[in-house]
Chains A and B, each alone.
Chain A
Amino acid sequence: MSIYIDDHTRVIVQGITGKIGSVQTKWMLEYGTAVVGGVTPGKGGNTVEGLPVFDSVAEAVKETGANASVFFVPAPFVLDAFYETVDAGVELIVIVPEHVPVHDVMKMRAYMEGKDLVALGPTTPGILVPGKGKMGIMPASLFAPGRAGIISRSGTLSYEFAGILSEKNVGQSTVVGMGADPVVLTNLSDILREFEKDDETKGVIIVGEVGGDQEEQAAEFISTRMKKPVAAYIAGRFSPQGKRMGHAGAIVRGSAGTFAGKCEALEAAGVTVLDSPVEVADWAILNNLQ
Chain B
Amino acid sequence: MRLHEYEGADIFESMKIPVPRRGVAESVEDAAEIAGEIGYPVILKAQVLVGGRGLAGGIKTADTPEALENLAGELFAKEIKGLKVRKILVSEKADIEQELYIGITIDGYSGRPVVVASTEGGVHIEAVAEKSPDKIASFHVDPEFGLYPYHARNLFRKLGLTQRTLVSCADVTVKLYKIFSGLEALQVEINPLAVLANGGVMAVDSVLEIDNSALSRIRHPLPDYWERIENSLERKGKEIGVTYVDLDGDIALISSGAGLGMASMDIIGKHLKPANFLETGGGITADLLYKCMDLVTTKKRIKAVFINIYGGINPIHEGAKGVVQFIKENNLQIPIVAKALGNHQEETWEILSSGGVHVVTDAATEVAVARLVELLAA
Contacts and interface: CB of A to CB of B under 8 A. Distances in A.
A99 B106 CA distance: 16
The interface residues of chain B, by DSSP majority, are classed as mixed
Contact of B259 (A103, A164, A187, A235): A235
Contacts of B55: none
A134 to B, nearest CB: 11
A114 B286 CA distance: 46
B298 to A, nearest CB: 19
Interface residues of A, number: 72
A246 B243 contact: yes
A107 to B, nearest CB: 5
B337 to A, nearest CB: 16
Given A139-B312, A212-B108, A277 B365 contact: yes
A285 interface: no
B83 interface: no
Nearest to B257: A156
A167 B261 contact: no
Contacts of B261: 245-246
A130 to B, nearest CB: 15
Contacts of B270: 276
A238 B265 contact: yes
Contact of A217 (B109, B258, B362): B109
A105 interface: yes
A66 to B, nearest CB: 22
Nearest to B249: A238
A15 to B, nearest CB: 13
Interface string B174-195: 0000000100101000000000
A24 B313 contact: yes
Nearest to B263: A235
A166 B341 CA distance: 13
A183 B363 contact: no
Contacts of A153: 259
Contacts of B245: 240, 243, 245
Interface stretch (B12-20, B155-163, B211-219): B211-219
B279 interface: yes
A180 B265 CA distance: 18
Contact of B312 (A102, A137, A278): A137
A210 B262 contact: yes
Nearest to B242: A246
B47 interface: no
Interface stretch (A56-64, A247-255, A264-272): A247-255
B286 to A, nearest CB: 16
Nearest to A247: B258
B263 A277 contact: yes
B227 interface: no
A182 interface: yes
Given A245-B279, A246-B281, A250-B262, 18 more contacts: A75-B213, A99-B212, A103-B181, A109-B111, A110-B142, A137-B313, A142-B342, A156-B259, A157-B259, A183-B111, A213-B109, A233-B263, A240-B247, A245-B261, A246-B243, A247-B259, A277-B364, A278-B366
A5 interface: no
B312 A125 contact: yes
B276 to A, nearest CB: 11
A98 interface: yes
B263 A102 contact: no
Give the top 6 A-B pairs by smallest Cβ distance, nearest first.
A154-B259, A246-B258, A156-B257, A139-B342, A163-B363, A156-B260
Of the candidates B216, B259, B277, the one having the most CB atoms from chain A within 10 angstroms of its own CB is B259
Interface in B236-266: 243, 245, 247, 255-263, 265-266
A4 to B, nearest CB: 19
Given A20-B313, A27-B343, A110 B262 contact: no
Given A164-B364, A180-B259, A237-B269, A102 B247 contact: no
A159 B258 contact: no
Interface in A135-156: 137-139, 141-142, 152-156
B98 interface: no
B281 A98 contact: yes
A235 B109 contact: no
Contacts of A110: 111-112, 142-144
Contacts of A242: 50-51
B126 interface: yes
B326 interface: no
B213 A141 contact: no
A239 interface: yes
Of the candidates A96, A139, A152, the one having the most CB atoms from chain B within 10 angstroms of its own CB is A139
28 contacts: A20-B282, A99-B213, A101-B213, A102-B214, A109-B111, A110-B112, A110-B144, A137-B313, A154-B262, A156-B258, A157-B260, A157-B263, A159-B312, A160-B363, A160-B364, A163-B363, A163-B364, A182-B106, A183-B111, A184-B108, A185-B111, A187-B109, A209-B259, A212-B108, A244-B243, A250-B258, A254-B51, A276-B366
Contacts of B101: none
A126 to B, nearest CB: 9
B312 A238 contact: no
B108 A157 contact: no
A213 to B, nearest CB: 6
B258 A154 contact: yes
B266 A238 contact: yes
Contacts of B266: 235-238, 276
A245 B270 CA distance: 19
